[in-house]
Amino acid sequence: MGTVAKALSLLTLFNHTRPEIGLSDMTRLSGMNKATVYRLLSELQAQGFVEQTGSDRAYRLGPEVLRLAALREAAVPVLSVSRGVLEDLCRETGETAHMSLVQGTQLNTLSHAYSSRHATRVMMDDAEVLSFHGTASGLAILGFAAPDFIDAVLAPPLARHTEATETDPAAIRAALDSVRATGIAESVGRFEADVHSHAAPIFDAGRRPMGALAVAAPVSRMTPGHRSEIRQALHARAMELTQRIGGFCPAGYPQDLAA
């Protein structure tokens, strides 16, 4: 991993539950030595990507991150457009809906919406990093990704998130045939135990999968009827979101939901 990649990896450690991180915790979370982490943070701070705050001088994201985020949102208003789609999907299914975006070879959760229909629901973190092999969102993207991207994602040793996580690249590749045939990916307990998720890819103007729209529900609530309801709503809303952000589905993508 190069110097730039190491520095950027430190930024991914921040999330909603961890908005500020001290040097010692940053060292522990990153797995790098303390001197390297301090040097990288100093360089990031000089460029405005992080800043220090409070008496303990903990680090938090700096104004340059906000500036770049604003530029990105102005250029491709995915976040603002997705919020309405997520709320509609959440209302239609009665379950947690969320959207994730591909960033390099990483899949990051962008936004989510909760339903008030049930007291028990799947909880999300907007800054959560998802795995491609263990989540419905990741599988939905891999189903329509370029071969070299799939090779890169499945090349490293794959993490086992739960006992149900599939880590055999050959088995994962075989499962992508169903994703391509239906346009929907499914994961039962592979990223979080007792969570049953469905996802559909979102495409950009070049017909490439740029992210995924997903619905996550407790396994105990997933009846055949509810599964069908979720898949129908998800397929329709994913195609709507692709269209609203100026994207196009690739040739062969199922326009009608298969069983």
How much is the pTM? 0.73
pLDDT in tens, 188-208: 999 999 999 999 999 988 899
Indicate the domain borders of the chain: 3-67, 77-244
Quote the CATH superfamily of domain 77-244.
GAF domain (3.30.450.40)
Token pair recorded at residue 187: 């994961």
> CA 185 to CA 205: how far, in whole Å?
22
Reported as half-sphere exposure (CB side, CA atoms, 13 A), residue 69 has a value of: 10
- How high is the pLDDT of residue 191? 95
| Torsional sign, CA 240, 235, 126, 64 | negative
Strand partners, 215: 97, 198
Q: What is the pLDDT of residue 78?
A: 79
Mode of pairing for the β-strands spanning 195-203 and 209-218: antiparallel
Whether 93 and 252 have beta carbons less than 8 Å apart is answered as no
Of 1.10.10.10, 3.40.630.30, 1.10.486.10, 1.10.240.10, the CATH number of 3-67 is 1.10.10.10
Q: Which two tokens stand for residue 204?
A: 């950009």
Give the Å distances, CA to CA, from 114 to 121, 137, 170.
8, 17, 35
pLDDT for residue 104: 84
- Per-residue model confidence (pLDDT) at position 75: 54
3-67 against 77-244: fold identical = no
Q: Which two tokens stand for residue 13?
A: 């450690």
In sign, the C-alpha dihedral spanning 70, 110, 213, 6 is positive
pLDDT at 73: 62
pLDDT for residue 1:
64
Q: pLDDT (tens digit, 0 to 9) for every residue of the chain, 259 residues total?
A: 688 889 999 998 998 778 999 999 999 999 999 999 999 999 999 999 999 988 889 999 999 988 887 766 655 577 788 889 999 999 999 999 999 999 888 898 988 999 999 989 999 876 788 999 999 999 999 999 999 999 999 998 999 999 999 999 999 999 999 999 999 999 999 999 999 999 999 998 889 999 999 999 999 999 999 999 999 999 999 999 998 888 899 988 998 775 4
Q: What is the rounded distance in angstroms from the CA atom of residue 176 to the CA atom of residue 130?
A: 17
The pLDDT of residue 236 = 94
Contacts of 209 (CB under 8 A, 6+ apart): 102, 140, 141, 143, 144, 145, 201, 202, 203
d(CA 178, CA 143): 8
